[in-house]
Structure 1
């Protein structure tokens, strides 16, 4: 018997399904890609590093042989073992919450999603470990029930084995569905392979999702909840080929990143040319303000920038041709030591911080990042209004970075490695846009409140970058990625 005995999912109507119960497989059904290798590779690299990714890649031929020629269940068991063995369960949960949703959301099958989103009660039944998929399915897609393979643990670590009844494939899927729903028969079942037949036949209507990797994924804008915060180092989904390229590139890329970082030790006027010679591209838009001699009572220029990576302040100095001190709330001791510009820690006490910034502006120009943290998605986090109270010499700066292999920032990993990961990209690029100095009528001196000034600066930067503004703060980001808040929604 073949799964093709069922009609294709395109023939399933989505009208009048508000009270219907749907049960669907995950990989190859709700997702376009039938292979889950890339998602396991994301966990392997994010939690275990490049060596774990290497082991997973070396084991992939064996997993493929077992999966296609011996037993689907055994192939998946080997995949789970190589990826998870010895990992802290808390680290797996963290990766599932902060790393995987971004990639899962970009791989939703349009026809399966059409049916899925139209049903009143939704259940996902998958061979993938529940610990990997549940945060995405419940927090972002509104799934009611997630039934996946359960992993064995010992003293807070994964053993690499799975709990009874084993990997949810074939009869195990059907038995799990029966034990969950009892005598209640689900209305719709969606599957994509022959081993899905046992559970699909338990539903009133069964549909087949044909393999079509070229079908256009659902736009992330159509999802019930946007993904604003995500973490992890990898930019592209690590298929076996991409994983191989990453593994081969890292030794050379790290050496190259160290050379690029040394460019920051050169005299500031030479940094631009040294960076360009080593493949770092800096695109300057607008008119960077020249350095001017100021009187004793005159304030220096305050550059108010959106925040992308720890390189922001360094590259701002590079394009201006002079070192620009910067204030920061947090910086690793190692990053502080190697920073080629002066960095000043703030205390998070508003009065004390205001005094520090005022004194610094009397001495020279200064850079500040009022978002307080980085954000990868096209959103700007809420700007602190502190800067608006301290000076009228404000120049907004919009920053955009382009990377092809590694993200240059992390919330959960080693922060001191951020600058190296950014510079490990083959051709890292920064686009820096300088706005004109804030007009008098948009400063506190004209009677505007500090919040009005901060909101105005945030708005002009967001409009230039085609970003959306949110009221999320640095604290919201770290709460979300730490898993203490499972209902992070856009508040704009």
Structure 2
């Protein structure tokens, strides 16, 4: 049977499919991209590091040769071995849950999604390892069933081999479909290549997805059933073979550059750090009217800067923008970050009375910065603000922070937080934009009768409006619930739109 025997997916009607079952391939079908290499590369880098990514890149020509000229199954087997051999299964599952969804959901084919989402029961049949794709497909795309290649495991670690019946391609896809559905034929089969035809022929209707052209745009996040608010991973862009090679080549250069940038920020006087950063390729943009340094002779307390939280470096770039060191209070900071930090950092105890007394004492000594979200978020959202700061002083200055990274994210949820500054500064030309908003009017402070929650909500809305962000009711705990894949992900789906201006 030739590919022309199946009509194009564009001819498939999505009306009246509420009780239908759809079975779709993944790469090139549900996704626009036909290559699974970027996703193997993400797992290789996030779990195994740069050396594992290098190993995968070195064997990828062999995998391609086998795939296109000898056996599709053998080519995929090479990628699986190079990526997974020796990895802890728990680490693979963690990356599949916290890192891959961001990249998978950014490449959904619009025509395939139109048909897939219209059906009541959704199944994905793929040659990729099930452990790698299942979390994204079930948690974010509403797949009811994922049939994929099963990797072999020994004592909690992947062996790099695959379990019987092997890599799920060609006739094995048809066998898997028969084993799962029996005589109950699925209504729609979606594929993109001739090796998908055996399982498509078993469906009542089969539709071929042609190779995506540049004008085929991915489905936007607002049209997907569940947006990703919290995610993890160091790589900003999906690592194609070329980008993976550039990343590997850049890492040693970038690390040395990061050390130089960190040394400049740590050792030079703060008034000239701004200029040192610019000379080293770190862009710092300052907007608004920063308040002047406090005058100790007046007897007033210092200003408390309320910052949106992008990375651990927020207080440092605030100090850079002000040309003077501003102490910061934080819930957690690594020892390495404390050592290299050019500003004073004070750990909060999470005991409200103790922390309040500590912050008041610090404000008596001068200005102070706090990030009341408590944790970072990469998406255009603000997390729920802690209201503690509103009770401690009336001298409140909101600060909207934005950063730009082209290669590495300067935040992580699973990795060592001490490396966050290094990864940020390893970007070829990272940037921070610091926007100082107007000082909070006295009539809007707690001294004027406002509750601490009202003050926190007002400040959060000010920052969100400046950045064109949305506010959510999510907390630090919600973030790690979402990353863990438990019921902490539920509010993301149900409350996102209605919490547009919600604060504490």
SS at match of 1:413: coil
1:252 alignment counterpart: 253
| Bigger mean CA deviation after superposition, 272-281 or 438-447 | 438-447
Contact 1:225/1:489, CA 8 A, preserved across alignment: no
Alpha-carbon shift at residue 295 of structure 1 (Å): 4.5
Asked if residue 110 in structure 1 is aligned to residue 138 in structure 2, the reply is: no
Alpha-carbon shift at residue 296 of structure 1 (Å): 6.5
SS at match of 1:455: helix
CA distance in 2 between counterparts of 1:370 and 1:26 reads 41
Deviations 1:236-274 (A, max 9, x none): 000000000001101111000000001112101010010
Asked if residue 80 in structure 1 is aligned to residue 80 in structure 2, the reply is: yes
1:465 alignment counterpart: 467
1:282 alignment counterpart: 284
Residues 375-414 of structure 1: pairs in structure 2 closer than 5 A: 375-414=377-416
TM-score (norm 1): 0.99
SS at match of 1:318: helix
CA distance in 1 between counterparts of 2:264 and 2:490 reads 40
Contact 1:31/1:108, CA 8 A, preserved across alignment: yes
Deviations 1:348-379 (A, max 9, x none): 01111111101100111000000001100001
CA distance in 2 between counterparts of 1:171 and 1:250 reads 42
SS at match of 2:141: coil
Asked if residue 329 in structure 1 is aligned to residue 338 in structure 2, the reply is: no
Alpha-carbon shift at residue 486 of structure 1 (Å): 6.4
Contact 1:33/1:213, CA 8 A, preserved across alignment: no
Asked if residue 487 in structure 1 is aligned to residue 489 in structure 2, the reply is: yes
| Bigger mean CA deviation after superposition, 437-446 or 32-41 | 437-446
Asked if residue 267 in structure 1 is aligned to residue 245 in structure 2, the reply is: no
2:42 alignment counterpart: 42
Deviations 1:95-152 (A, max 9, x none): 0000000000110000000001111110000001111111111111111111111111
CA distance in 1 between counterparts of 2:136 and 2:244 reads 23
Contact 2:93/2:132, CA 8 A, preserved across alignment: yes
Count residues in correspondence. 492
Misfit runs of 4+, over 2 Å: 1-4, 294-297, 482-491
CA distance in 2 between counterparts of 1:459 and 1:60 reads 48
Asked if residue 193 in structure 1 is aligned to residue 199 in structure 2, the reply is: no
Residues 290 and 486 of structure 1: is their aligned pair in 2 closer, same or farther, counting only changes over 3 Å? closer
CA distance in 2 between counterparts of 1:488 and 1:30 reads 24
Alpha-carbon shift at residue 482 of structure 1 (Å): 2.9
Picking from 425, 429, 432, the partner of 1:430 is: 432
Contact 2:84/2:159, CA 8 A, preserved across alignment: yes
Residues 197 and 114 of structure 1: is their aligned pair in 2 closer, same or farther, counting only changes over 3 Å? same
CA RMSD of superposed structures (Å) = 1.0
CA distance in 2 between counterparts of 1:52 and 1:44 reads 6
CA distance in 2 between counterparts of 1:159 and 1:260 reads 41
Residues 95-106 of structure 1: pairs in structure 2 closer than 5 A: 95-106=95-106
Alpha-carbon shift at residue 487 of structure 1 (Å): 3.1
Contact 2:478/2:489, CA 8 A, preserved across alignment: no
Asked if residue 216 in structure 1 is aligned to residue 217 in structure 2, the reply is: yes
TM-score (norm 2): 0.96
1:445 alignment counterpart: 447
Residues 74-153 of structure 1: pairs in structure 2 closer than 5 A: 74-153=74-153
SS at match of 2:179: helix
CA distance in 2 between counterparts of 1:249 and 1:278 reads 16
1:232 alignment counterpart: 233
2:313 alignment counterpart: 311
CA distance in 2 between counterparts of 1:412 and 1:42 reads 14
1:61 alignment counterpart: 61
- Unaligned stretches of 5+ residues in structure 1: none
CA distance in 2 between counterparts of 1:2 and 1:228 reads 43
Alpha-carbon shift at residue 297 of structure 1 (Å): 4.4
CA distance in 1 between counterparts of 2:322 and 2:303 reads 12
1:241 alignment counterpart: 242
